[in-house]
Amino acid sequence: MADLELFGRLMWHALSGPQAGIALGGASARRLAPGFSPIVAFADAAAPDFAALAALCEPGRPFYCENWQGAAPAGWRVEAEATMVKMYFAGTEPADDPADGAVPLGPAHAAQMLALAELTKPGPFGLRTVEMGDYFGVFEGGELVAMAGERLRAGRLREVSGVATRPGHQGRGHARRLMSRLVRRQLARGEQPVLHVMSANALARGLYARQGWREHLEVPVRVIVREA
């Protein structure tokens, strides 16, 4: 599929393409605007323009980037690094589950969503991330116990992201049902669902594979910080 050619550099293609309106930067380096997920991207990850990026990033704030490797330049440090697997949905359309208990999430839920993301660490998340696509959540006793939604997009690719379940509520199928809801909506729109999962998370990779997701590519991912 031609759109999967964009997948290896989804962060850059999203921030310089359909989501450029919520990003800052120019032709060589970009970041999502403050309040959104702390993601940066380079036009050329083999020769990243850190000088351009420095003008966009406040010191001390961690940002995520993909594909870049090598020593950090002066004024920057690598706070964490790993690899992640890019997966695309290749299964049959999930059956509708009217009992999934999901409700749409919006800016009014942003604080609860951020708290759940900080607790469960599903990936870079911000108070305004909910504005990047459709998000759904499950509440119990007024508490947000599970969520999933959409983040990056480029071409027909639409990322399923922010998948999180509060400890004590796992093993009940919340994440699977929320992801299935998103996949159905994306397929109905003619989009290709994609996601990212940390390479070391063998359990999640296995679960996704059984749900019809296929591994496409493994890439480096880093958390970088501009020093004061």
> Residues 10-36: what's their mean pLDDT?
98
Rounded Cα distance between 216 and 223, Å, is 22
Strand, coil or helix: 70: coil
Model confidence band, residue 5 (pLDDT cutoffs 50, 70, 90): confident
- For residue 178, the number of C-alpha atoms closer than 13 Å in the C-beta half-sphere is 27
Question: What pLDDT is stored for residue 2 in this prediction?
Answer: 61
Cα–Cα distance for residue pair 202/62, rounded to 1 Å = 26
pLDDT of residue 1: 55
Q: Identify the CA nearest to 139 among candidates 101, 181, 93, 98.
A: 101
Q: Provide the whole-model pTM.
A: 0.95
Band of the pLDDT at 99, cuts 50, 70, 90?
low
Q: What is the pLDDT of residue 97?
A: 75
The total of other beta-carbon atoms located within 10 Å of residue 202's CB is 10
Bridge-based pairing state of the strands 76-89 and 192-198: antiparallel
Domains of the chain with CATH codes: 2-83+222-226 (3.40.630.30), 86-217 (3.40.630.30)
Please tell me the distance from the alpha carbon of residue 76 to that of residue 51, in angstroms, as a whole number.
10
The band of 95, judged by pLDDT with boundaries at 50, 70 and 90, is confident
